[in-house]
Homo-oligomer: A and B are copies of this chain.
Amino acid sequence: MGGFPLTAWQGYLDAHAARFLDEFAELLRIPSVSTSPEHQGDVRRAAQWCAARLAAAGFSEARVCESGGHPLVYGEWLGAPGRPTVLIYGHFDVQPPDPIELWQAPPFEPAVRDGRIYARGASDMKGNLMIAVAACEAFLHTSGRLPLNVKFLLEGEEEVGSPSLPAFLREHKELLAADLAVSADSGQAGEEQPMLLTALRGLAGLQIDVRSASSDLHSGIMGGIAPNAIHALVEILASLRGPDGAILVDGFHDDVRPLGPEERQEMARIPDDTPAMLRHAGIRAAHGEPGYTPRERNWARPTLEVNGIWGGYQGDGVKTVIPCEAHAKITCRLVPDQAPARVLELLERHVHRHAPQEVEVSVRPLPGQGFPYRIPDDHPGQLAAERALRTVYGKAPYRYRLGASVPVTALLQEILGMQTVAFGFSMFDEGMHAPNEFLRLGNFAKGQRAFCLLLEEVASD
């Protein structure tokens, strides 16, 4: 406990730590993979679990809400009139577990090893979701009240880009009205080093489909005559990025806010974890746009990645076909002030301009577009979060950007007019979106304490 005053909520958190972990594991056991149609029922089960859990924590209202896609969960406790209201955001869906053969244990059978809990969704973000719920429960079950009004909004489509969220926000503006949003979908820089998130990247994605003939062809009989869909796709993909990683799409960088010397200096002050990240991921050397450090590229420059490619024969041995189809999925991470629709337009134009004439090329947007996001350093919510983190960690948080995307932050700003403080306790090495994802149990406990303090700090503003 160190130098912390033993508050009622702290005592409660300590007393119920084992149960919170059990409940966390219960949630991890639900394979709520939002991108897979066969897991539709599991995503709904996760929603029902969350609604029931909020009710058990003492929220006066907690319900599953329908949307065009996977359901959402709304909860509220509004027993502090005159006090501010925060809207806590999170998601209960997870990434697919594949490649499943690389997991050391089944991805939906949580296993505790060496102070960590391993399962798909442990770090992204069922742990952070449980942290927020546990913190609220600690207030409600000890004092019967929260220090301010709290609304919960949990979605089941974050990992597919929150397609139903914009309409839901627009239709429930009043219900969701708050002074500040707190996104639990975030992390810290280290076990002993807090951080404050100041920017997130946006997302835009598309699929390219190439067709060169009505069926696969015999490479002997048609070789030298027929075009090859894979070669055509390769040509298109090679035109999108240079070998050095620079994006070559015309106009792609037009709306990118240039990185000033002060910003670059501030970023450079934070210890560089790139070498450790590379080592951890088994990477030979960092790679990307020349003229920027890896961190600058990850935090403040857009990227373009082929996420998947397929075409022709993928089985054992040899099959001498000229494949008639080839496909690629591509996503871009965007930075201020890029707009997803504009980026997609530029990409589509580029693809068609570089498409070999002898094949048929079509392009379609992938779900999950999202604007990039920034919150000012002196925003009161950021300052409250800074005080809470200083108390728990005993030091000032880094001002961090993040290369990842949480589309909700841009949507909450655009539709509900509120800024978002990111307040989560995952770490970068925890295998999010990859096999053997885990969360550190130390952070699970520390996060609950920090979250209680955050609610008190915002309440006292």
Contacts and interface: CB of A to CB of B under 8 A. Distances in A.
B214 A315 contact: no
B358 A284 contact: yes
B37 A316 contact: yes
A122 to B, nearest CB: 14
Interface stretch (A22-30, A46-54, A382-390, A397-405): A397-405
Contacts of A289: 224
Given A283-B212, A284-B359, A404 B218 contact: yes
Given A224-B294, A224-B297, A434 B318 contact: no
A359 B360 CA distance: 31
B96 A319 contact: yes
Interface stretch (A175-183, A326-334, A416-424): A326-334
Given A306-B230, A308-B314, A433 B216 contact: yes
A217 B434 CA distance: 6
A434 B311 contact: no
A222 B403 contact: yes
Contacts of A285: 227, 357-358
A323 B331 CA distance: 12
A231 interface: yes
A386 B80 CA distance: 100
A384 B124 CA distance: 75
B319 A95 contact: yes
Contacts of A434: 215-218, 321
Interface SS of A by simple majority: loop
Contacts of A301: 224
Contacts of A328: 230
Contacts of A245: 231
A398 B212 CA distance: 30
A311 B309 contact: yes
Given A215-B282, A224-B298, A309-B314, 12 more contacts: A102-B215, A225-B287, A225-B298, A227-B284, A230-B306, A282-B324, A285-B358, A286-B358, A309-B309, A309-B311, A313-B329, A320-B433
25 contacts: A35-B315, A35-B319, A160-B317, A205-B320, A215-B434, A219-B305, A220-B402, A222-B277, A223-B333, A224-B292, A224-B297, A225-B278, A227-B284, A227-B287, A228-B287, A231-B237, A235-B243, A238-B238, A287-B356, A287-B358, A306-B312, A307-B313, A307-B322, A317-B366, A319-B329
Interface of A: 35-37, 95-96, 98-99, 102, 160-161, 201, 203, 205, 212-228, 230-231, 234-235, 237-238, 241, 243, 245, 274, 277-278, 281-289, 292, 294-299, 301, 303, 305-324, 326-329, 331, 333, 356-360, 366-368, 402-405, 428, 431-436
6 closest pairs, A vs B, by CB? Answer: A220-B404, A224-B297, A214-B282, A308-B312, A308-B313, A227-B287
